[in-house]
Structure formats: structure tokens, C-alpha cells
A and B are shown apart, each in its own frame.
Chain A
């Protein structure tokens, strides 16, 4: 269709007045004429016989100026005007520089890894390389950038929500395996901050790829009302495998230690994106004090229960998933106390279960409805309790039992990162959109 006929409501009033039918009445009244017109106004020529449009993209753009410096300025202004930039200065993606970037992978430049929402632009290795050049990345970073984008394009990752929601969601991009050290990624003090070319330009290349491959732009289809934190480089860091007492995160998922992998995960939304749970050089902390804060954070999030209403897309009702980034000192202490990653996940899962008697009638009803809807399958995948976990929730809904607040121990992902001293921090989202991909084509 050439375009939908839309009745536009005044957002300034609609959102505030939609609480009940009496309040919303004047807004509904204001839409009536638009709706009747939409139903009865004769079709225009374009609506009746739409012209097929296909714009062949311009392959190269020539920027002329009196000097290189002026051309560079002109290039940056053109790219931001076209919505092809991020707002930071860019490196011009000349053919020579893109060819240099492509030396970082054995993969064919024409290989398509998928299409990127919201407009489904085609993501080829070459286009990713172009955006990586613009971000200031080095060729050896390219396989990590590609793996991260493959994670975003996985069917289990809801990229549409992360990039277009009115909430301030953003990705965490966490690198494991030998490549992190080879390309000098920071996993220690300042791990989500500035000053590390690999961390920062990998994140920036991904930001630019999302803009340019998805045709994404703030206020047009990226509707984050206050923007997204760390919007230019995201939270991009490596696990501190050297100072972790445990096997690397990707090895716990079945990858080999000599392989490298990238985990991409949506975080944030209506919070700052992360919560500090303890550690550091100021306050006194202990392993137990941080474990207590972890359990408090998880068990305090009871959205799995009462907020669920069958068929309604309420983001506040989606079950949660947590990422804890544990600073090495704490990981070493937990290891001394006998915890490994798996037993710590189990501890946190079990410790945060709620006694059935402590649930309100509304929470019991919400969980019962979620179980029924999960069985029927007519439910958003964010809200689903997978079939292998359903018996656990069904059996827990009775006197004397405890009800989990996360679907599975695996919804508590544990990484070790940071320096000495360091902070342990938490990041959370819905239980979907957490994908790990092997780094290929190095």
C-alpha cells in the first residue's frame, strides 16, 4: 500500500487521559471526523494505482573542497545531515580504507548476515566494514563487530524493541576468548568507560551499523524519549578471564576456551542501565553483603506475578533476566567459599524464590493466567514460561512451596570483570534478548 490512512491523536493529551473512558472522551471525539474521512474519502490516484518505487542506492559519494580539511568537514556535515552519522566525527569510508578494513576477516564482502530492523536494510560484511571504518575501528576488530551484529540478528534477539522502544534500552556487548586480549580490550578498571580504542570503536561501529543498516534515527523510528545511555559506544567490554577463578562465560555455554565469542544483551530501559551492588575502595563490603544485595534485587522484581494480563502487551509484566558483573576480588572470595558460576546461579535462583503464602491473590492470579497462556501459546514470547519450566511453576503454586521470580537459573548470567578494586554491578532486562555468538572469520 502507498500509505496507511492515519487518524492522529494529540499525544500530549492522549497519554495523560487514557486512564478511563470519561477522561478519554474528548480525545475520542476529536478522532471521529478523521476516521469517517479515512473510511469514505475516495482513493487518490496514488492509493488506487501505486507507482512501484525502487531507488538504486548511490554507491559512491564525491566530496569536493579546496583542501582536505574542508572536504573532511564537508563530509562530516553531509553524513549527519543525511542521518548517516552518530553525531561524533567520522573517518571517511574511502574504498581503500574499506578494503583495508576487510583484511580483518576471511569472510566474503558480499556475504549477507541478515536484515536490520526497523527498515530491514541488508547487512553485508562490506557494509559492516564501511561503518567500522567510519567508527575508527581497526581491521582486527571487524570479526567481533560482525559477531555482535549476528547476535542482534538472531531470531531470539528482539532488536526491534531494543532500538525503537520509548524506553532507554541499550545493548551490553561482552567479549570472551583470546581475541579480547589480542585486540587489547579493556576488562579491568574503567571497563565501560572511555580510553580504549577496541572497546569504544567496536561499540561505535555497532551504533553506526544499527543506524545505517536499519535506517534508524532518533525521533523518527528510534523513539527513546530521553535517548539511550552510552549511546555512541554502548557498554562494550571483555570478561576479565585472567583474573577470574572460573571458566570463561562462553566456555560455560559449551564453546571451547580457544574460541572467542561475543554476548549481546539488552539492558536498561527505565533505569540507569546498571546498579552498583558493592565493592570499591570507599565502603566496606563482604561477599555476603553483595550476595544479599543480589538476592534483594532479584526478589524485589516480582513482575512475573501480578502484572500479567492475558493478551495485553504490558512491558512491566515481562519476566526478567539479570546480568551480574562480578569484580575479580569478589569472584575469588566466592570461589574460596566454594561457589562456581553454576552453583552461584543456583544459589541466587533458590534464595530468591517467594513462599507461596507471601503472594497476594492478584499475584497468584497473574501467575495462573501466565501458566494457562503459556500452555495455550497465545502469548508474547517475552511473557512465555517455556514448557520445560512449566511444571516447576505449577507445582510451586500451593501452600508450603516456593515460587521462583526468574524462569530459570540461566536467566541469571554471571560475568567476572573489573579491576582491583572493582565494583560488582547488575544489569537487567526481559528474559529474551541475550545471545552469544562465536567470532568467525578471523
Chain B
């Protein structure tokens, strides 16, 4: 028999938070499409906005590019979405 010790780095404890409540319908709502600006994500998110706007004419789809590096938060935009939006689609493209 061999007894060995665990080589894994212990993961720090994480607190899981509940997800935001979902919408009953997107009718009459404002949905943000956020592009993190990885190469060539612009084309995809623009096309997404076009198709969604055509298919759901009673919904406002706003496409925004996140400020700053792709891996970092954009607190100003998050605040704007919380204030004016009802939902968000975040596009990583990577």
C-alpha cells in the first residue's frame, strides 16, 4: 500500500449568489447587447441586434461596446443597464 498526499491547491471558499429574476416576456422591454470587443465580435453582435429587432419589434435592443480591456468590468455600463435595461446579452466571442 502507498499513502500519498493530495497535490491539489485548495480552492478558496466561494459564495454563490442567486441569479437575477427572469422576464415573463421581452415585449416592451429594453435588452442590452454588450460586445466585449474581441476580434470580429462586432459583426456578430451587430447581426444579432438586427435579427432580434426584426423578430421582436416591440422590444428595444441596444448594442453597446464595453469600455476597457475585454477581461475587465465596465461599472458605468453595468449601472446604465441596471437603470435603463431589463436584460442583458453579453457576447464574448472567444
Contact = CB atoms under 8 A, between A and B. Distances in A.
A60 interface: yes
Contact of A313 (B22, B38, B51): B38
Contacts of A213: 8-9
A311 B50 CA distance: 23
A58 B8 CA distance: 9
B13 A28 contact: no
A50 B48 contact: no
Interface in A60-98: 60-65, 68, 71-72, 75, 79, 84, 92-95, 98
Nearest to A158: B71
Contacts, number: 175
Interface stretch (A113-121, A350-358, A413-421): A113-121
Interface residues of B, number: 51
Interface residues of A, number: 78
A16 B51 CA distance: 20
Interface string A11-36: 00010001111011101110110011
A54 interface: yes
Given A21-B46, A95-B3, A212 B9 contact: yes
A161 to B, nearest CB: 9
Contact of B16 (A28, A35, A51, A64): A51
Nearest to B10: A122
A354 B71 CA distance: 33
A130 B5 contact: yes
Contacts of A65: 1
Given A39-B23, A39-B26, A378 B67 contact: yes
Contacts of B44: 14, 18, 24, 27-28
Interface string B1-32: 11111111111111111110111111000010
B59 to A, nearest CB: 10
B39 interface: yes
A2 B15 CA distance: 10
A134 interface: yes
Interface string B72-94: 00000000000000010100010
Interface of A: 1-2, 5, 7, 14, 18-21, 23-25, 27-29, 31-32, 35-36, 38-43, 47-54, 57-65, 68, 71-72, 75, 79, 84, 92-95, 98, 115-116, 119-124, 127, 130-131, 134, 208, 212-215, 311-314, 378-381
25 contacts: A18-B93, A28-B51, A40-B26, A41-B22, A47-B19, A48-B18, A57-B6, A59-B6, A61-B3, A68-B2, A72-B2, A93-B4, A94-B3, A115-B9, A115-B12, A120-B11, A122-B12, A127-B8, A215-B8, A215-B11, A312-B39, A313-B37, A313-B69, A313-B70, A378-B68
